[in-house]
Chains A and B, each alone.
Chain A
Amino acid sequence: MVFSRLVEIGRVALINEGPDRGKLCVIVDVVDQRKALVDGPCSGVARQAIGFGKLYLLDFKIRIPHSARRKTIVKAYEKMDIGKKWEQSAWAKKLVAKAKKASITDFERFKVKCLKQQRARVLNKKFKELKKAQAVQS
């Protein structure tokens, strides 16, 4: 099993814990075995040391020298259009869907339930037809 997402200078990561939860940041330098220096000028994350445990590594990487200044990071980030790529990724879309699901009102929940039932009815009907057809064949 080969790891494809490595901790390296320029690796884009998703912060999973703390006040910056859900924001993207870039690994700028490694402090020690447990912490990285991280910065996210384009996503509102202050330059700070963060434990690796709080990060999810993403598939994106930008070319920056170690301990790069914010200006450099912004340039490289925008050149590769990381923000847009992230939003289009399946991972980001799933997060958005999850947040939406958690915030639906009681009425919306009811409507979702009705729609699910409708869909189930359609599926079951078709499934039974196919099953019947198969039984007839054999």
Chain B
Amino acid sequence: MAHASRNHLLAGGVPRYSRSAMYRRKALYKRKKVKVDPKQKKSVHFKVKPVKGDKNGEKRVVPTKKTRRSYPTEDNPRRIHSRKVVRPQKLRASLAPGCVLILLAGSHMGKRVVFLKQLPSGQLLVTGPFCVNGVPLRRVNQAYVIATKTKIDISEVQLPEALGDGYFKRKAQPKKSSGGESEIFQDSEQKYSVSEQRKEDQKKVDSQLVPLIKTTPHMRQYLRSKFTLRKGQYPHMMVF
């Protein structure tokens, strides 16, 4: 690993340390220049290649490195490499597995759901549970969610292993062949139908969650109800 510069510039563009001082600081007296073996240094610029054919002279002298076929007319500036690093999305402090969330967008807007875990993509895995309020095992972005202070203890709940980002990712629809007549008569969109796998996994999760919900009085009705704002209710003044 290279050290940062042991020298720096003072005001006026004058280096702090002189050449000899830098020699000392970099401990160049300890570093010996490695002598390159003159035999190794030789780089071969031309190759002799055999050529077929009677009248072609048996060989050609060919350069090892070919010159460029074309050179650009303008000098393009070098692209600066982005230093952005993709990091896992930070989970809000108010979010913890087992928390009841209020969904703020999407088809299940206003519904209260149980937060199960954060997936590697950063999205939250939630479920109604489905038998309580119709929200299936689903991914949700934490930006579109209000975390309430209500928690259910789901430490004992075991989620199916398959539940990951790949499980929920939308399957790309197969491209239709460009045939005139068949396209007109076909449905433009294939309707989504729930797979048996999903139903099974949903049942597994629900069967574990429902007894936990039943332990707290009113919790089931709470999850069945939708969140609405009434007169005099201001979200910035409310505690969730």
In the bound complex, how far is the Cα of B240 from the Cα of A102, in angstroms? Answer: 11
Asked if A110 contacts B225 (CB within 8 A), the reply is: yes
A102 near B237 (CB under 8 angstroms)? yes
State whether A106 touches B227 (Cβ < 8 A).
yes
Residue contact B239 to A107, C-beta cutoff 8 Å? no
Taking the complex as formed, is B102 at the interface, i.e. its CB lies under 8 A from any CB of chain A? Answer: yes
Contacts of A102 in B (CB 8 A): 237, 239
Q: Which of B219, B221, B239 has the most CB of A within 10 A?
A: B239
| B239→A105 contact, CB < 8 A | yes
A-B contact count (CB 8 A): 34
Instruction: Give chain B's interface secondary structure class.
Output: mixed
A93→B238 CA distance, assembly (Å):
21
- Count contacts on B: residues with CB < 8 A to the other chain: 16
Residues in A neighbouring B238, C-beta threshold 8 A: 106
Given A110-B222, A110-B225, A114-B218, A105 and B150 contact (CB-CB distance below 8 Å): yes
- Check B149 for interface membership: any CB of A closer than 8 A: yes
A69 interfacial contact with B, CB 8 Å: no
A116 at the interface (CB under 8 A from B): no
A123 at the interface (CB under 8 A from B): no
Question: Among B149, B218, B221, which residue has its beta carbon within 8 angstroms of that of A106?
Answer: B149
**A residues less than 8 Å from B225 (CB atoms):** 110
B148 in the interface (beta carbon within 8 A): yes
